[in-house]
Amino acid sequence: MITKKNRLVVIIFFKNGNVVQSKLFKQHKVVGDPYKIIDRLSSWNADEVIYLNIRPELSNINRQDKNIKYDNDFDKIIEFVGKKAFMPLTVGGGIKNLSDADKYFRMGADKISINSEIVNNPRLISECTKIYGSQSIVASIDVKIDNENVYNAHINGGKKKVLIKLNDYIKKIEDLGAGELLINNIDKDGMANGYDLRLLKLIKKTTKLPIIFAGGVGKFDDFIVGIENNLNAIAAGNIFHYTENSYYQAIKFLYENKCNTRPPILNVF
């Protein structure tokens, strides 16, 4: 008997405090109201949500730069969302030290996601797992394929290649104690042509950690392909911004196709 459900995870990307759709980690189109999204996710009875600040450096410096439009402050959005998110909430982007981590946990995050600091300051992960438990620490890996058809992890929003092999990188992350992996695929980002199954299989072979896998979902069938390939946490960002009640429609589609998800419920609050 199985009691566990597959989970449909929503990733929301933020840049300059705006919600954006992302393509290849380079082009970003502003969509939606950053404060209202959480109400929609609640009424769609969402399984889980991840708030990612994809250009945290823009929030910390260059504040005076008139060319950059700051409509909202990421931290203020998280503070707001934390009070209303009665679903698992992960926050990531720009977490550099224990006080950043502590800040988001205090705002109501259940998990934090760490990416660049895996390389820059690996001790941060082990320190965080000691304080918050490994289940609260998500290691986020942005993967890109190189000219020789080899997958490599990247940090700094996809701008810097990690020098060690992807397999070894994941092993290192396991040793540091992270409880979950969030895999995003730079080449697939915003392309809407389905998950990279070769990458999924490769990562599943490398680790036993729970995997949240994103990048490439363009239609609801793509989620089913993920589930058929033993992916338990199917994730996407952009697709949820295209249509009305998109999350509800997606979970309904998966439920009706016997994908072992939670049942669709609308307007539960």
Considering the complex, state which of residue 77 and residue 85 has its C-beta at the smaller distance from other proteins. Answer: 85
Give least dist CB 116 to other proteins, A.
23
Give least dist CB 60 to other proteins, A.
24
Residues near other proteins (CB under 8 A): 1-7, 42, 45, 47, 82-89, 105-108, 110, 131-136, 179-180, 208-210, 232-233, 262-263, 265, 268-269
Tokens linked to 251:
């979970």
Q: Which residues of 180-189 are buried (b: 16+ CB within 10 A; e: fewer)?
A: bbbbbbbbbb
- How many whole angstroms separate alpha carbon 42 and alpha carbon 193? 28
- How many whole angstroms separate alpha carbon 100 and alpha carbon 170? 23
Considering the complex, state which of residue 3 and residue 64 has its C-beta at the smaller distance from other proteins. Answer: 3
Query: Distance of CA 22 to CAs 11, 89, 244, Å?
Result: 11, 20, 19
Classified as helix, coil or strand, 167 is helix
How far is Cα of residue 186 from the mean position of the Cα atoms in its chain? 13
Give least dist CB 256 to other proteins, A.
14
Considering the complex, state which of residue 20 and residue 173 has its C-beta at the smaller distance from other proteins. Answer: 173
Considering the complex, state which of residue 138 and residue 162 has its C-beta at the smaller distance from other proteins. Answer: 138
Give least dist CB 199 to other proteins, A.
18
| DSSP at 195 | -
Give least dist CB 53 to other proteins, A.
20
Considering the complex, state which of residue 84 and residue 172 has its C-beta at the smaller distance from other proteins. Answer: 84
